[in-house]
Amino acid sequence: MTIGEILELDKGPKLPESRHRGIGIVGAGAIVNAGHLPSYRKAGFNVVAIADTNLEAAQETAREWGVPAAYRSVDELLEDSKVEVVDIAVTPNAQFQIASKAFEAGRHALCQKPLAETLEPAIELVQRADRAGVRMAVNQQMRWEGVVRTAKLLIDAGWYGELIGGLFDVNIMTDWRMWPWMAERERLEYLYHSVHYFDSIRHLYGEPESVVATTARAPGQHAQGESRTFTVVEYSDTLKVAVVVDHNNWGPEPRAVVHTDGTDGKSEGTLGVLYDYPVGRPDTFRFYSRVQGPEHAFERRFTERWIPDAFVGPIGELLSAIEEDREPLTSGRDNLRTLRVLMCAYRSADEGRRVRIDEIELP
């Protein structure tokens, strides 16, 4: 199979046969307006209601996007019989109660990442969804971002050969004052940014064996938590993936690059949204083949962007899973494994040692 034939298999996110299942969104903030609703409209999904404690914000968002109903609480939204799936776009400390109410009301739910700030409430949410007999997914939409999606296709087709390494190299400026509640968190960068990278690493490389990590702050930074992280996700003596992230780049050139390396091929991609968040620029991807020669090198520049286009992935997968009666790709249970990698990274940084993944048990 040629590269061209492989890329032709890239049909984007999986979509359900029916687009009519009613979606109710909880939260009318910036990410809903910049990510969720634009992608849902493009995919033809049926958003029937939106709720926010700021009713005016919910009403304004509803008017802008043609959503039929706006409510001031999740309780009101759950009384709407047209809402079959609840899309939760709130802070983690508010998410537990909202998701629990949705499950109790027999609604499926797409939860925001991080699912929780610690493993215990995340595990409890998964168990509550199971007891309620509903499907639950987590909005880890980077799996559907162009660079990660293309790398996954080529890995599965064998074009990298044996995987030997990877690198997520991100050096940007983040003004945490845009999210005052986030700036107050003692744990910050891993939970609210690099959670995307660790989930994508699991998606591309599988389950790791151990994590080595250290974290840092920047002199005079506004945020309370770590804003610089240095992590190695270890698989074997021949496969390790590094994640190096700094949110304090005051210079004129940001950097957001993803490398994937194998014995037969290697690639480099750029995450366009991080070059001018949240507008960004198109992602890019370059692949080189050691085995087939330079004629099999290719470049790909995407028309879609991480925000908003990748946001159709988790909700589309959840709707398909409901339709097909199966677990979604980014299910709550799967996401516990991503959270566990983060918890291992924090433990490694706190204790100054390599932490094995199996030190933290999951149900």
In angstroms, the CA 37 to CA 231 distance is: 34
Answer yes or no: are the C-beta atoms of 267 and 154 closer than 8 Å: yes
Question: Can you tell me the distance from the alpha carbon of 331 to that of 315, in angstroms, rounded to the nearest whole number?
Answer: 11
Examine the pLDDT at 296 and tell me if it is beyond 90. no
Residue listed under structure tokens 């802008």:
64
The radius of gyration computed from the CA coordinates of the chain, to the nearest angstrom, equals 20
Convert the pLDDT of each residue in 260-278 to its tens digit: 999 999 999 999 999 988 7
Please tell me the distance from the alpha carbon of residue 92 to that of residue 314, in angstroms, as a whole number.
18
Query: Stretch 88-111: mean pLDDT, rounded?
Result: 96
Confidence bin at 12 (pLDDT 50/70/90): confident
Q: Which residue has the higher pLDDT, 4 or 316?
A: 316
Specify the pLDDT at position 3.
63
The end-to-end CA distance of the chain, in Å, is 40
Amino acid type, 170? V
Distance CA 315, CA 87 (A): 8
* pLDDT band with cut points at 50, 70 and 90 for residue 14: confident
pLDDT of residue 82: 98
**CA 271/CA 326 separation, integer angstroms:** 31
Q: How confident is the model at residue 9 (pLDDT cuts 50, 70, 90)?
A: low
Residue with tokens 């074997």: 236
Structural domains in the chain, sorted by start: 11-139 (3.40.50.720), 142-311+339-356 (3.30.360.10)
What confidence score (pLDDT) does residue 116 get?
97
Work out the percent of the chain whose per-residue pLDDT is above 90.
Answer: 88
Sign of CA dihedral 198, 199, 202, 204: negative
**pLDDT computed for residue 5 by the predictor:** 66
* Four-CA torsion 38, 46, 329, 129, nearest 10 degrees: 120
Distance CA 137, CA 36 (A): 15
Q: What is the structure's pLDDT at 297? A: 75
More confident residue, 275 or 299: 275
**How confident is the model at residue 20, as a pLDDT?**
94
Q: What is the pLDDT of residues 181-195, one digit of tens each?
A: 999 999 999 999 999
Residues of the chain above pLDDT 70, percent = 96
The HSE-up count of residue 164 (CA atoms within 13 Å, CB side) is: 12
